[in-house]
Amino acid sequence: MRVGILKETLPGERRVAIVPAVVPSLAKAGLEVLVESGAGAAAGFSDAAYTEHGVRVVASRADVFAQADLLLQVRAAGANPAAGRRDLSLYRPGQAVVGFLEPLGAPDAVLDLARRGVVAFALELLPRVARAQSMDVLSSQATVAGYKGVLLAAEVLPKMFPMLMTAAGTITPARVLVMGAGVAGLQAIAVARRLGALVQGYDVRPAAKEQVESLGAKFVELPLEPGQAEDRGGYARAMGEEFYRKQRELLTRVVAESDVVITTALVPGQRAPVLVTNDMVGSMKPGSVIVDLAAERGGNCEATRPGEVAEAMGVTIVGLTNLASTVPYDASQMYARNITAFVQHVVKGGQLKLDPGDDIVRESLVARDSDVVHPRVRALLGLPSAPDAAQGERRA
């Protein structure tokens, strides 16, 4: 079975799905690996580095599609809307693809893959269970985004993060508020603390308090009843607008006292909830900074301009997207380990095996047998419920 590594075509995307160091693990699974020439260059991995690990470098993208049985990407189909559509004609029936697909935000792209007869796996739908931790691409890339978000804030803020005792007097530490204590938020808290800031963290889940405090930050407690904040898969669930309104009202004072606010709240397949209104931005001191890690989904701040660094009412709002791609060397290594673990799980004896009783396969598989098979994606497309999957193991 041949695995093809494609060069990413989304503008600004510098990551690569597989790095040379993980190739031996794929070879042990009975896979031959080939890579599009230049695929790893932007991340710091030369064609020669792949060749040294037994990878065959292929000159053209079309040749990778023509020769590979399984394609590995960072951003495929719906996660790369324009260029992804240009790849559609290159797919062969029965060919498989694994990567970010944005199936809940761009279900039509999944339908396009299904119509080409492609077997498609969306890694962002992996269940958050212990068995899938090593495959969790969302967590690994969120770690990078949380780290980079703090560095961007430190660069833009017109003051230093740590308290300093100098001959010229004492420099007071910056006050940082991190909204959302998921993977990105916790990483942001840890980095801001290491830089010497006074850090507060907030999350709708009361259970996050222990995690926030374990990193040396203060947990912001609000008199709110969040109800069920997570779905069955362990991902954030959208709350009602009344909840968000009360949350904004209670957080206004905390935001106003902060020099830096980092927001991280995302709900799969939906626009990011607004946590910081224009009025809240206006309450902040001139020179303050908001880093909106949810900018790619519209942003948690009402004044965010996705893809831009903007200013509103004297506050700098960093709405840059795809931050993981700005640290491509390490982000690619983490992603490569995740996707390799997934491939090892679904490939046995050099063949792709689909077990409908396996929750990892069931939750990530979105297209097979020329049909969209994931219930949530089918619902978004207005398709009827799929018939029950055949019992037992199936080969593709």
Q: Return the active site residues.
A: 128, 133, 136, 139, 235
CB 258 within 8 A of CB 175: yes
CA-CA-CA-CA torsion for 376, 378, 384, 387, nearest 10 degrees?
-80
By the 10 Å C-beta count (0-12 exposed, 13-18 middle, 19+ buried), 11 is classed as exposed
Amino acid at 152: L
CB 123 within 8 A of CB 340: no
| DSSP string for residues in 52-90 | HTTPEEES-HHHHHHH-SEEEEEE-GGGSHHHHHHHGGG
Q: Tokens in use for 108?
A: 């039509």
Q: Is the dihedral of CA 381, 383, 388, 391 positive or negative?
A: negative
Q: Tokens in use for 395?
A: 């080969």
Q: Is the dihedral of CA 85, 90, 91, 96 positive or negative?
A: negative
SS3 351: strand
Residue from 297, 322, 321 nearest 307 by CA = 321
| DSSP string for residues in 163-197 | -EEETTEEEPPPEEEEE--SHHHHHHHHHHHHTT-
Greatest pairwise CA separation for the chain in angstroms:
75
Strands 70-75 and 2-5: parallel
Alpha carbon distance 296, 84 (integer Å) = 18
Residue from 365, 355, 364, 368 nearest 394 by CA = 355
